Structure 1
Amino acid sequence: MSDLPEYGYVQMKHLADYFKVSDQTIYRWIRRDEFPRPQYLSDGVSRFDVQDVREWIKKRREEWNERKDRRNCAYKQMVETRKRKAMEKGNQAV
């Protein structure tokens, strides 16, 4: 049960196994509006639409990549600033 099907609906347990988290974590994500809500198919039966989950995964990856890019830029700027200051300090000593 490690893969998501191409389409259809999946149970909470399947998603918890897929993401390697507890059911409670997924419920917490739902309460915080950080995860797609389940579809209620009949009395007491709810499932998650795989397409909604796949869109959520795609969006999370894009957000993660944007944060990663910003961190890389900030790191490069920090390194360049330190190099420049070290060179200025070295020039002042001469």
Structure 2
Amino acid sequence: MSHHPDVPQTGFVTPLWVKRRYSISNSTMYAWISRNYLPRPCRIGPRAVRFRVQDIREFEARLSMHHEGSLNALQSSRFV
């Protein structure tokens, strides 16, 4: 499994996929969600959530529009 997987064309990705893509911990992922850095995941079952690929693509597009190093800036604001 690739450490930085490519974004699928459509569908959903798991929280684990998101954490691996951005090299962040679980607590950082949820902190980013609460701060509106990351889009909120969709609940697909009583104990399961997924992120819409379209939301992830829009998130990455916003990052690249604001600043090429924005993802690095977000990663340096990690809690863990």
Give the alignment's TM-score, normalised by structure 1. Answer: 0.64
Q: State how many pairs are aligned.
A: 66
Report the Cα distance in structure 1 between the residues aligned to 2:18 and 2:36, rounded to whole angstroms: 16
RMSD: 1.6
1:22 aligns to 2:43 (yes or no): no
Corresponding residue for residue 8 of structure 2: 5
Identity, % of aligned pairs? 30
Which residues of structure 1 form unaligned runs of 5+? 68-94
Residues 6-42 of structure 1, C-alpha deviations (whole Å, 9 max, x = no match): 1111111111111111121111100111110000111
In structure 2, the partner of 1:33 is: 36
**Matched ranges for 1:61-72 at <5 A:** 61-65=64-68
Give the structure with higher Rg (CA).
1
**Structure with greater proportional helix content:** 1
Alignment partners' CA distance in 2, 1:57 and 1:63: 10
Aligned residue type for 1:45: A
Which portions of structure 1, spanning 4 or more consecutive aligned residues, are displaced by more than 4 angstroms? none
Q: Which has the higher contact order (CA 8 A, sep 6+)?
A: 2
